[in-house]
Amino acid sequence: MLNRTRNTPIDPEMTIYDFLRKLADFGCFLGRKGDGEPGCVTVWRGFEILLLMLMLMLRSKG
């Protein structure tokens, strides 16, 4: 998975917490200082976008 903001590879040693935060980023979680933790809906939206990207990638490979 690539980092959305910098287009650099993400650390392969990431924790589940880090993965859920990155997934929530796809679901439009802003991660500002006072926002708190992402909720279930935000993580789910990010998961749906990730699945869509994977399906498009598999479809484009033929």
In tens, the pLDDT along 26-60 reads 998 998 999 999 999 999 999 999 999 999 989 98
The answer to whether 2 and 8 are in contact (CB under 8 A) is: yes
Q: Which domain holds residue 44?
A: 16-60
pLDDT recorded at residue 12: 78
Is position 54 within any domain?
A: yes
Is position 53 within any domain?
A: yes
Q: What is the pTM of this model?
A: 0.74
pLDDT recorded at residue 10: 66
- Provide the H-helix boundaries in 6-39: 16-26
Is position 26 within any domain?
A: yes
Is position 31 within any domain?
A: yes
Q: How many domains does the chain have?
A: 1
Is position 38 within any domain?
A: yes
Is position 44 within any domain?
A: yes
Is position 24 within any domain?
A: yes
Is position 10 within any domain?
A: no
